């Protein structure tokens, strides 16, 4: 069974600092996704990573994928308060029983 | 227009009651899902339908019964509600990848917060 782990689970950081959220998964996967969820809100897609070495950037967020290490990272550069949210990674496979398996989520709080 | 819409957004009910949540998507996707998010924010898939056909049925009590009248709609009916059913239920849709160039990205509804008293 595919397992997806994120760390840290909780992250409190000051504005202007850099940090990285890690997403490890247990078996070979074809696709990896990052989602953002604000309190009481829906999940918003941030990045879709489809191949080994894929790197995508949007504003202060950058996501990368290493399929050999079964690891994805979400890097936050010069954090701002608006980035406070819960971030989820999710993994699935193209062939077989397709379903997204979500990580535990990382609750990020940016302190002014 | 809302891409994936769920109703109701909030649902408060007594134990033992039966309730339904409806979901509609206007994205033209062929696959729809129900996910449950518990109080610890953990998201777990419950069901998935592809073109009205059930393709994923996780270990969910049979009190939960999904129905897909067409590929744009997926409803969730819950019988004999229990305290542990309290959660946020998210509907989502995607275009199934199946080795094609589709990304398989999920688009989520706003969620339906169910509180069982």
A11-36 pLDDT tens trace: 999 999 999 999 999 987 778 999 99
- Answer yes or no: are the C-beta atoms of A58 and A4 closer than 8 Å: no
Q: State how far residue A2 is from chain B, nearest Cα, in angstroms.
A: 12
Interface test with A, best of B104, B110, B111, B113 (most A CBs within 10 A): B104
Q: State how far residue A19 is from chain B, nearest Cα, in angstroms.
A: 22
Mean pLDDT, chain A, whole residue set: 91
Q: Is pLDDT at B51 greater than 90 in this prediction? A: no
pLDDT-wise least confident of A73-77, B76-80, B102-106: B102-106
Q: Is pLDDT at B67 greater than 90 in this prediction? A: yes
| Among candidates B42, B44, B97 on the partner chain, residue whose Cβ is nearest the Cβ of A94 | B97
User: Which residues of B sit within 8 Å Cβ distance of A?
Assistant: 33, 35, 41-45, 48, 55-56, 90, 96-99, 103-111
Q: Which residue of B has its CA nearest to A36?
A: B108
Q: Is pLDDT at B74 greater than 80 in this prediction? A: yes
Over residues A4-14, mean pLDDT: 95
Q: Is pLDDT at B102 greater than 80 in this prediction? A: no
Q: Which residue of B has its CA nearest to A51?
A: B103
Mean pLDDT, chain B, whole residue set: 91
């Amino acid at each position: 069974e595919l397992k997806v782990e994120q760390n840290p689970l909780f992250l409190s950081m000051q504005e202007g600092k850099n940090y990285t959220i890690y997403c490890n998964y247990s078996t070979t996967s074809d696709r990896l996704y990052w989602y953002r969820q604000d309190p009481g809100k829906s999940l918003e897609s941030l990045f879709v990573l489809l191949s080994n070495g894929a790197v995508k950037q949007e504003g202060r967020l950058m996501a990368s994928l290493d399929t050999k290490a079964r690891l994805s990272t979400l890097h936050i550069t010069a954090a701002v308060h608006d980035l406070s949210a819960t971030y989820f990674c999710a993994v699935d496979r193209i062939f077989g029983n397709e379903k997204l398996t979500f990580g535990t989520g990382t609750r990020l709080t940016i302190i002014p | 227009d809302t891409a994936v819409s769920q109703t109701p957004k909030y649902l408060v009910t007594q134990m033992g009651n039966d309730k339904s949540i409806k979901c509609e998507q206007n994205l033209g996707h062929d696959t729809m899902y129900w996910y449950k998010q518990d109080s610890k924010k953990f998201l777990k898939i419950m069901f998935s339908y592809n073109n009205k056909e059930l393709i994923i049925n996780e270990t969910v009590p049979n009190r939960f019964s999904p129905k897909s009248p067409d590929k744009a709609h997926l409803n969730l009916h819950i019988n004999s509600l229990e305290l542990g059913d309290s959660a946020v239920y998210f509907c989502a849709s995607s275009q199934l990848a199946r080795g094609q160039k589709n990304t398989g990205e999920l688009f989520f509804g706003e969620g339906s917060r169910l509180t069982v008293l």
